[in-house]
Amino acid sequence: MRGRNAAIAVSGLFAAAVLGGLAARSNRPAPIRQPPREQAARQLDLGAATLAGSVLFDSAVEHYRGSFEHRGMYVPLAVASATIAASLSGARQPNRMRTGVHVLAMLTGVAGLGFHIYDISKRPGGWSWQNLFYAAPVGAPGALSLAGLTGLAGQQLRTGQVRPDSQSGRALAALAAIGILGDVAEVWLLHFRGAFHNPAMVLPVTIPPVASLCLAGVAAGAGRPSLRTTRGWLWATAATGLAGVGFHAWGVHRMMGGWRNWSQNLLEGPPLPAPPSYTGLALAGLAATRLMEEAHE
Amino acid sequence: MQTPRATGGRAPDVFTPGGWVPMREYDESEEVDFVIVGTGAGGGTLACKLAEAGFSVVAMDAGPFWRPLEDFASDEAEQSKLFWTDDRLVDGENPLQLGSNNSGKSVGGSTVHFAMVSLRFRPEWFKSRSKLGYGFDWPLDWREMWSYYREVEEALAISGPVNYPWGPPRPRYPYRAHKLNAAALALAEGCEAMGIPWTETPIATLSAPRGRARPCVYRGFCVLGCSTNAKQSALVTWIPRAIAAGAEIRDLAMVGRVEVDGRDRATGVHYHRGGEWRFQRARNVVVAGYAIETPRLLLNSANSRFPEGLANRSGLVGKYLTVQSNQAVWGISGKEIRSYKSPPSLALTEHWNYQDEGKDFHGGYCYMSQGPEPQLWANTQLASRGLWGEALIAEMQNYNHQVGLKMVGEMLPQERNAVTLADETDQYGLPIPRVTYSWCDNDRAMIGHALDFMGQALRATDARDIWKQTDDTCHLNGGARMGDDPQTSVVDADCRSWDIPNLWICDGSVFPTVGGVNPSLTIQAMACRTGDRIAAMARRGEL
């Protein structure tokens, strides 16, 4: 498949998933003032969809680069698309299919981790910097598992299977804290590979770790930092994820031929779809703080 | 290219097709602080250091001033324009092949087409006579040189491994190693089978953007000129810095003679540019023409006070020319190797540079993965194996599967290996150099060891039809060696000639020994040191 056709195909898949998901939810009127539980659920939906969107485009680009050598390399594209649709549909009733999609996403992520670990270990040099830099990215599939978990949490919150209390808030904070930390590790590895040649490359390994620490404090029930502070760092993390797309677009411009040579440089340059995974995880963290707040009130 | 580009107050901008940068120009009647002959690893680096230290500098090169983005084609024959192919005579028991991998005629010198391998000397090599029992001691301390290696590695943003397996600890390379190609993975596989360490080669091509230079696109034409500026040659690093600091670069300017007055001081250089001989006055002259042209210029500049050539009271100018052995083993892999992709030598082992046990020879060697371009490969098949016609065509069908390991080995310095003047003259009317070279028993023993070892390593991969290329050499050094004693050396540790205090030599020709690694990093480190030393001496009024 030529680069242009591939790009159109993946964008179409994404658009279909988003529109399909939204269409499923649009037949119910939105309440004037949403209860915090509903707000948290919406944030979780959006977080899961953002994470899944990041996985869809990132795995499409990277697996296209790997010529879809194994048929399994198509799986994350399909599962991530389904996760987007399931997350955005905003179900009020328990639904086996939606639950199934989110569980599938979790399992696919775990399977992906296994495949990527196998890919690294079979190469000459094994667990060397060379293979961590250039073989399949070791932690990336985890983002799909996190999307599934986040989507499931949103669904269960909305359907009442999970109570909007401080216990579930703390559990969600722990999940987001760990997710962000995993993302930080991946970003550090790849920005280290790029020798942090642009000072902005330091931002995504400094801001999100603080947010992760704040969430860990919340999860531990330490009472500090305050929810307000935590939310501040989470919004900063979400912004870092969005700004990252812009920085990576700049990075593509700095490759040989720049954007004129997009079909090569989207593959060889910094990955455009990767940074919003921070945004998705930050939304999950914000949902956690919302639940904690409601519990306090 | 016949017409100089760096004129009229501007020089080509190497980062922009058709672009220019402003360049300061000096009048020929003006006595500049330094005129530098040659703009490669030695001269280009020193021009930058001296200009940044505030000296007035004119640096001349016999070759053209290229803009790689528009002047370099993906064509081996076209790119031979980067080589120094003027007439030279070769003789001796093992005459050298000159004109491609060991010489360059461009602003930036042979760094424009070097393989970018940027290795540090093993510390003991700076005192190989005292510590290892062969060759000669350098008048330099390895710790000082290692700090200058660092300066060069940063200036070139060397991409290297996170941890280097051999020698004393070194700071992390500025940029990370590149992704290994299949040829490099074959080297790794062989080393692991032989139980010796290997690593990614520290290499002067970018693995991330830097300034106006783009990262490497793995075009693989490195040794024929990088058309994307990822290669950190002197042309795109030291030279732009030198021009920005006020140096003038004179391209297509062939220096034929260094003028020396009755008080044994150099006064300037006679050079050929724009169809005529001209003269540039200077307070100091630096000769940086590499191991053949530097002795040739000194010998060609003989006068009544220096009848044997300039700076040659020791009689050693042109002597102890020392090259490096560059033999290889090749085979056919079952896998597609496509070794032309990526820089040619992405992985190496320095095991036999740092391991002294189990050798029946002095000195060391490293070996690297290889990626010959097709025309060079056909030439190799013809020259080394005599293949022609059907046999050559059949062999070339294996091109995408061929895989090889090639050594860079330390040959021992011998007085009989020398650059002298022939009776014939070149297009400028200057006597051409005669280059005499013979291997010694130690050289042969090392080559034998390396070919055996590399052969075993290659056999440990899936390669078959393995054969040895026994005749190649690379990297010219020596010919104006440095030392502590005016009787046995041409220049002192600061690259200043013993006989003429304002005549300096700054290139690979000052190497007393060559070590088992590619010399470009050491030449640049030495040039950085020389620049700092000259600035310090100027402050003390010792110039």
B211-268 per-position pLDDT tens digit:
999 999 999 999 999 999 999 999 999 999 999 999 999 999 999 999 999 999 999 9
**Residue A73 clears pLDDT 90, i.e. is over it:** yes
Measured in residues, chain A has a length of 297
**Residue A237 clears pLDDT 60, i.e. is over it:** yes
The mean per-residue pLDDT over the stretch B195-209 comes to 97
CA-nearest of B539, B363, B324, B542 to B445 is: B363
pLDDT band at residue B129 using 50, 70 and 90 as cut-offs: very high
Other beta carbons within 10 angstroms of residue B133's beta carbon come to 8
**Residue B143 clears pLDDT 70, i.e. is over it:** yes
Cis bond upstream, residue A225 (ω within 30): yes
Domain with B421, as residue range(s), is: 10-539
Q: Which residue in chain B has the smallest CA separation from A130?
A: B179
- Contact B188/A124, CB-based, under 8 Å? yes
- Contact B177/A194, CB-based, under 8 Å? no
Residues of A in contact with B157 (CB under 8 A): 195
The mean per-residue pLDDT over the stretch B388-417 comes to 97
**Residue A94 clears pLDDT 70, i.e. is over it:** no
SS3 content of chain B, % helix, strand, coil (to 5): 30, 20, 50
Which CATH number covers residue B421? 3.50.50.60
* Spatial distance between the Cα atoms of B468 and B404, rounded to a whole number of angstroms: 10
DSSP letter assigned to residue B514: -
Helix (H, G, I), strand (E, B) or coil at A126: coil
* Spatial distance between the Cα atoms of A54 and A17, rounded to a whole number of angstroms: 13
Considering the domain boundaries, does residue B2 fall inside one?
A: no
The complex scores an ipTM of 0.93
Residue B409: strand pairing partners: B325, B365
* Spatial distance between the Cα atoms of B78 and B29, rounded to a whole number of angstroms: 38
Considering the domain boundaries, does residue B3 fall inside one?
A: no
B440-449 per-position pLDDT tens digit:
999 999 999 9
pLDDT band at residue A26 using 50, 70 and 90 as cut-offs: low
Residues of B in contact with A132 (CB under 8 A): none
Global model pTM greater than 0.90 = yes
CA angle B180, B185, B187 (to 5 degrees): 120
Residues of B in contact with A198 (CB under 8 A): 209
Residue B405: strand pairing partners: B329, B369
CA-nearest of B458, B389, B483 to B139 is: B483
Nearest CB neighbour to A194, from listed B163, B208, B230: B208
Nearest CB neighbour to A125, from listed B188, B208, B210: B188
Q: What percent of chain B has pLDDT over 70?
A: 100
Nearest CB neighbour to B208, from listed A124, A129, A195: A195
Query: How many structural domains are present in chain B?
Result: 1
Q: How far is CA B278 from CA A264, B27, B262, in A?
A: 50, 12, 21
B476-530 per-position pLDDT tens digit:
999 999 999 999 999 999 999 999 999 999 999 999 999 999 999 999 999 999 9
pLDDT of the residue at B135: 97
pLDDT band at residue A36 using 50, 70 and 90 as cut-offs: confident
Residues of B in contact with A197 (CB under 8 A): 175, 208-210
Q: Where are the beta strands (DSSP E) in B15-91?
A: 20-22, 32-37, 57-60, 89-91
- Contact A255/B215, CB-based, under 8 Å? yes
A134 in contact with B, Cβ within 8 Å: yes
Considering the domain boundaries, does residue B4 fall inside one?
A: no
